[in-house]
Structure 1
């Protein structure tokens, strides 16, 4: 770690140019997990053009404003599926972000595409605990940076999650992960004592509070020199104005307060941190990004997105089916699991006992009425293929135990699992029969999970017997257009198949 810090100091020795603004007041605006949601969502929330209205307004009042993003700017709409991050980088460049860090979904298309995307980003890209030496991304990222603003020096770092078990191994091959807490504390010490910064800010994509893995709360408690943590990954909306919100202030290892912030997801809020005085706890609020801003939208940003929008609008206009009623997250996960099971039977021509999918593989919901190609691409955007495994009952039970840690995941209609807490499976039945630890079952899933993604390592013990040729959303579009669902209306199944007693 010491060698890494010393070499990185040489790369970061030159600080950013000061603005010349004399006030002590500094504002940090931040986003996280916007997930390609460039337009307002189906409930009229968010939209990057509205976000720009807010950013421009704050900058007009206070030139000492810094704009940062805490990762997962991509993946979640047809813009990323079709254009691989070009739209997102162009739009965020138009907002003139100062710093951006890596989320897990920036890895989704592998390191070649990852490097291409980050080379388009005009903001300073930070990666403190990822070593890209010998990969296509070598030389793109700084381990830290110092921003001189309003007469003060503000240090920034970028802390990413451990990709093992979260990102497909092939998508970060050659990259070395460095322990997040060790790296953060080492760099924070350098920023405080060598760079002589007045504040140390950690941009993170590790989640707010996870008992299984490093999180913002743990990082705050273990730190001495970090003043502010601007987080992402867990989609947590930390709102001091809401009494039910997670805590925004946590004591560090020497009893000093650390501000922790996060804006939720999909660009529905813009975070605003106001530093009135160095040494005092900053104030913090979430600003809604909504229709009240529409009359002030900047046409220059609309022009940036317009060349991409025509292709997105075209796939959103191709009708392939009908949905009977609005579907919620559970119903969408059920639909995905049943689809994977059905396609696996078609693929193999054999009996499939059950299917397992992850909630994270479903990025939205279907609304009542027309179903389009674009709807399918946006809700199921990942380049996953269906995989059929032969797996021992004991391994299947181990995997179901892991699935309890996220409150349950997706099962096809043949299965029901009852659990009474983390790692505690009370009953696991397929077609009303308890899973036999000694029996071999035929399981349908997706390649991401079959490879141990979402920490489902027990699935890697199964024997792979078939893999689909096409990715899931392509198969799904085909089924609605020309297959078993052609001319039929999709009806939701609201059964909760993995649940507590």
Structure 2
């Protein structure tokens, strides 16, 4: 038996050595076929029974009612600011501020998220855990960037050129009829180029997502280890009724 194994191993090594000097081998033909998923494919009862308790637990958690809204909230509800965008930015400011202050003794001055990051409407009626997953299906986290007044002005310039309802809080931007900045304030005051400001955003945007390059190299970066989706779940749980409105935080006269 041992002799047979030695012979077999030697033969295998010899064959491999021979292949190294021979011409490369290529497949002469590749075939495949499409197998459509349809009702004709019967379910596997054993697998279904196995996952049933896990699915039931997940469904219960996802359908848990957290809050209520009397109207549909959509990111198409306004040109420069929308109720859903305002709610999301306000939620970040409200929920992230105490965590940031506890860790740094500093305060968040403003919030900027991105319009494209709002992935679904919030339907009229009950707001559930699933609602938070629908509007924020990504694993993005809240971060706080410390930026200079000059960078903050770049932020306002970006919003002016974008002309989109990016969710903001803690700041106001008013454009004139020629799309020029008429008023730009943070916490109700003009930008001070000699100061630094703390802006809450997502890790995706801080890394230059949506071309928000003014966030890319902050003076300081604080990672809260707080996913935006979890933040919204906590915010909904805290507020029995969600009824945001369009306001004057970003408008064109």
Query: TM-score normalized by structure 2?
Result: 0.69
Looking at both structures, which has the greater relative contact order when contacts are Cα pairs under 8 Å and sequence separation is at least 6?
2
Q: Does residue 318 of the first structure (1) align with residue 64 of the second (2)?
A: yes
Partner of 1:299: 39
Superimposed CA distance per residue, residues 130-187 of structure 1 (whole angstroms, 9 cap, x where no aligned partner): xxxxxxxxxxxxxxxxxxxxxxxxxxxxxxxxxxxxxxxxxxxxxxxxxxxxxxxxxx
CA gap of 1:316–1:93, structure 2 versus 1, over 3 A, is farther
Superimposed CA distance per residue, residues 1-40 of structure 1 (whole angstroms, 9 cap, x where no aligned partner): xxxxxxxxxx9x98999xxxxxxxxxxxxxxxxxxxxxxx
In terms of fraction of residues, the more helix-rich structure is 2
How many pairs were matched up? 209
Aligned to 1:492, the other structure's residue is in SS state: coil
Q: In the aligned structure 2, how far is the partner of 1:345 from the partner of 1:359?
A: 22
Q: Match for 1:327 among 73, 86, 94?
A: 73
Superimposed CA distance per residue, residues 452-479 of structure 1 (whole angstroms, 9 cap, x where no aligned partner): 1110011123233421223111232234
CA gap of 1:480–1:15, structure 2 versus 1, over 3 A, is same
Superimposed CA distance per residue, residues 373-417 of structure 1 (whole angstroms, 9 cap, x where no aligned partner): 1111111111111111211111011123223343231111x3211
Q: Where does 1:43-54 land on structure 2 (aligned, <5 Å)?
A: none
Deviation at 1:426, TM superposition (A): 3.6
Q: In the aligned structure 2, how far is the partner of 1:400 from the partner of 1:334?
A: 17
Superimposed CA distance per residue, residues 298-317 of structure 1 (whole angstroms, 9 cap, x where no aligned partner): 5348969x969956744442
Q: Match for 1:395 among 119, 138, 151?
A: 151
Q: In the aligned structure 1, how far is the partner of 2:29 from the partner of 2:98?
A: 60
Q: Are the aligned partners of 2:179 and 2:252 in contact in 1 as well (CA < 8 Å)?
A: no
Q: Are the aligned partners of 2:73 and 2:121 in contact in 1 as well (CA < 8 Å)?
A: yes
Query: TM-score normalized by structure 1?
Result: 0.37
Aligned to 1:327, the other structure's residue is in SS state: coil
CA gap of 1:431–1:94, structure 2 versus 1, over 3 A, is same
CA gap of 1:395–1:466, structure 2 versus 1, over 3 A, is same
Aligned to 1:336, the other structure's residue is in SS state: helix
Partner of 1:410: 167
Aligned to 1:437, the other structure's residue is in SS state: coil
RMSD: 3.5
Q: Does residue 428 of the first structure (1) align with residue 174 of the second (2)?
A: no
Q: Match for 1:466 among 195, 200, 222?
A: 222
Partner of 1:362: 118
CA gap of 1:93–1:316, structure 2 versus 1, over 3 A, is farther
Q: Are the aligned partners of 1:94 and 1:301 in contact in 2 as well (CA < 8 Å)?
A: no
Partner of 1:345: 97
CA gap of 1:406–1:299, structure 2 versus 1, over 3 A, is farther
Q: Are the aligned partners of 2:146 and 2:197 in contact in 1 as well (CA < 8 Å)?
A: yes
Q: In the aligned structure 2, how far is the partner of 1:302 from the partner of 1:338?
A: 48
Q: Does residue 444 of the first structure (1) align with residue 196 of the second (2)?
A: no
Q: Are the aligned partners of 1:451 and 1:459 in contact in 2 as well (CA < 8 Å)?
A: yes
Q: Are the aligned partners of 1:404 and 1:421 in contact in 2 as well (CA < 8 Å)?
A: no
Deviation at 1:496, TM superposition (A): 5.3
